[in-house]
Structure 1
């Protein structure tokens, strides 16, 4: 009978916890039963919502969770907040953060180390194993270390291939962004565009996932023409927050209704969408990984509002009078350069090094954008082709299962009757490295 072992999963942000951690712990528990004790250790993340620990604890497969605020004492001195003890064998699995972390923790505990590498693998001299998303990652590795590597596929594809909810009538996803300079243009542009689509296709529904770093009131702020001059520029109708039971939605003055999704992440709801309209940024990576067709919007009506640069350009942009002129000049230069040299901003296009999803750069208007959306709805074969290209530029499904098998290989575990393993016993000792 195989001995129990510890599986320490290092992860960090909301995306990793919901799209990488969940399929992995499900696959580990399904394959190994109660043999591993699964401990999730969260590292700090600039995109954290503060809910990552609670989400991890909600997974029934996970035995114990340490929040990000306790991470550095664990990394530096080997002490968990609850003085966890460990079995004599284990694996540290990296699912987000800095790839140096599993190296340090694995060496201290004497555990094997395994990294899931989406785009780039590091520390291959010292890490015991790597599961990589595709062959492109493997191609960057010196031949003498490639024996440590296995192409496992894409964990995000494992999530996206879960049972798809039925979707009739068509649903359009609206993702205006989460930062002020994007919301100022994104909210009125998308609201006005939704109205154009609804007038031609009254049956179409609209869904807007509320980013975890903003509130519904933030959306209302940027939809108010008294507070946001871009509302008038896009001729966007007024917004009002309404509810149907516990479900909030935006009631637009032209009769359009936009369902608000406040749960995070909104993958289950987004998978209902035939097409999404999104600002540039992390949204494009998430939608691309889910295989969702999208139009990526880079409106330039408010160039002088785009002052979020670092360094010298950011300082110049804040100078009265000169700053406004400089911002307009530099942004126009950027736009000209992007069009001339085919610079890509959407993550799927960057991944594939070709244009998979349309990037609409310039002075966008709701009528033209709405007509483009209607054309895609009238030609579903275009959406199917875009979806197929999105899926092709990522990796294959089954990554969680293959990582699970790699864990067993690192510990030299053989096939045993895993269905009758006793549940792991939790001992709270004062010393981190005390073995059970």
Structure 2
């Protein structure tokens, strides 16, 4: 336990990092270090992110373990001059914990505040000379590190795997009368550039599968950064002209009396249920297979060991704008962003690279990635092959489990933070 007042400053950026990294870590920090805010204060500072939805501050503020949150629009002023928008004070002792963004920000802010620095490294650990501790997902990261820095590294496991822990923990608390029904999850994305083609595509696929397997239930876990009315607009041919151009699925939003969930009703009469509870781990863990776009959702599904097919339609080549670093910034520039996005995506697609996180982890295709000018019938054929041959789904689940890091990462990372903060107290003693 901490006996002297201290601050923990968490650096993060996008909605995926907030949901799958920050959420379990702040919970573990409070569990291990206590809830006395006079002794321990947790602040979150967000940096710009190409995947940002604009609701990151709201999401971070919803975590009861967190005391203060600053939005990304104020980040560079803080980075350069050390001043937050609300002129926060900082205690003498503390730690900067990296949970998303650029690891170099941790170095600069740690030096400015004279705090200990801890980085969670999923794939790469940088700035070994200036960071105090690294909590890494897998031993391979340590193996590629110079021996003189090895003492700074601790294998904590996969923060994404916390999703599975939460799902198992909630399994006994939530009764789902439809749990034995064959379910297919649809994850078309949360940003307009993806939804404009992603939602009509998955609706068209769902209609064709439902004709072949009428017992199948289709569900969309609505991202916390998206409301159902906005989502439904992308299924409306009056508001999404791409539906008419491609002949893909359309639907209208229906909101039945509580407690029945809202749903999208397609022209064929299919009901696609909408779930707004977040995180949707329980719902996803019950799905036989999911159809998803690229992004953090592939990592979450991988952590849950849920089979998936990753859809990357290229009818609109500027839809993918979530690249890291300079490409992401260029693709999201006002006005010129669409042009840069088309060029970047054309170059990336030519490289035949892997896009889904489980495939990136394994360096091979564990889950199918379908790239190109997709037609619903092509995807339906692949889905039906999996559903008719459940042993293939079992093999995919096993391979997803094999590439995931160990669970319990949030608790181990919180312990590293505690050790570093306590070093201040040891010095004082």
Determine which of 241, 248, 254 is the counterpart of 1:242: 254
Determine which of 306, 316, 327 is the counterpart of 2:317: 306
What is the aligned-residue RMSD (CA, Å)? 3.4
| 1:238–1:253 Cα contact (<8 Å) kept | yes
Match of 1:81 in 2: 85
Match of 2:6 in 1: 5
Query: After the TM superposition, which parts of structure 1 deviate over 6 Å for at least 4 consecutive aligned residues?
Result: none
Match of 1:54 in 2: 58
Gaps of 5+ in 1: 315-322, 416-436
Distance 1:248-1:103 versus aligned 2 partners, 3 A rule: same
Counterpart Cα distance in 1 of 2:47 and 2:388:
46
> Is 1:128–2:138 an aligned residue pair?
no
Counterpart Cα distance in 2 of 1:407 and 1:181:
38
User: Alpha-carbon deviations, 1:344-393, whole Å to 9, x = none?
Assistant: 33332122111200123456443453343234234433223212322322
Match of 2:323 in 1: none
Match of 2:336 in 1: none
Distance 1:298-1:96 versus aligned 2 partners, 3 A rule: closer
Match of 1:425 in 2: none
Q: What is the TM-score with the length of structure 1 in the denominator?
A: 0.78
> Is 1:169–2:173 an aligned residue pair?
no
Deviation at 1:202, TM superposition (A): 2.4
Counterpart Cα distance in 2 of 1:270 and 1:230:
27
> Is 1:197–2:201 an aligned residue pair?
no
User: Alpha-carbon deviations, 1:100-120, whole Å to 9, x = none?
Assistant: 122122112221111111111
Distance 1:20-1:280 versus aligned 2 partners, 3 A rule: closer
Counterpart Cα distance in 1 of 2:239 and 2:86:
51
| 2:186–2:290 Cα contact (<8 Å) kept | yes
Match of 1:390 in 2: 400
Deviation at 1:395, TM superposition (A): 1.2
Instruction: Report which stretch shifted further, 24-33 or 375-384.
Output: 375-384
Match of 2:18 in 1: 17
| 3-state SS of 1:161 partner | helix
Structure number with larger C-alpha Rg? 1
Distance 1:378-1:87 versus aligned 2 partners, 3 A rule: same
Match of 1:419 in 2: none
| 2:251–2:267 Cα contact (<8 Å) kept | yes
Counterpart Cα distance in 1 of 2:390 and 2:424:
48
Counterpart Cα distance in 2 of 1:95 and 1:344:
23
Larger relative CO (CA 8 A, sep 6+): 1 or 2?
1
Q: What is the TM-score with the length of structure 2 in the denominator?
A: 0.79
Counterpart Cα distance in 1 of 2:282 and 2:359:
24
Deviation at 1:407, TM superposition (A): 1.6
Distance 1:231-1:16 versus aligned 2 partners, 3 A rule: same
User: Alpha-carbon deviations, 1:224-263, whole Å to 9, x = none?
Assistant: 28954555755x4542221123643110121211122456
Determine which of 110, 116, 122 is the counterpart of 1:112: 116
Match of 1:401 in 2: 411
**Pairs aligned (count):** 390
Match of 2:309 in 1: 295
Deviation at 1:146, TM superposition (A): 1.3
Counterpart Cα distance in 2 of 1:411 and 1:262:
38
Determine which of 376, 388, 397 is the counterpart of 2:386: 376
Counterpart Cα distance in 2 of 1:82 and 1:180:
32
| 1:292–1:387 Cα contact (<8 Å) kept | yes
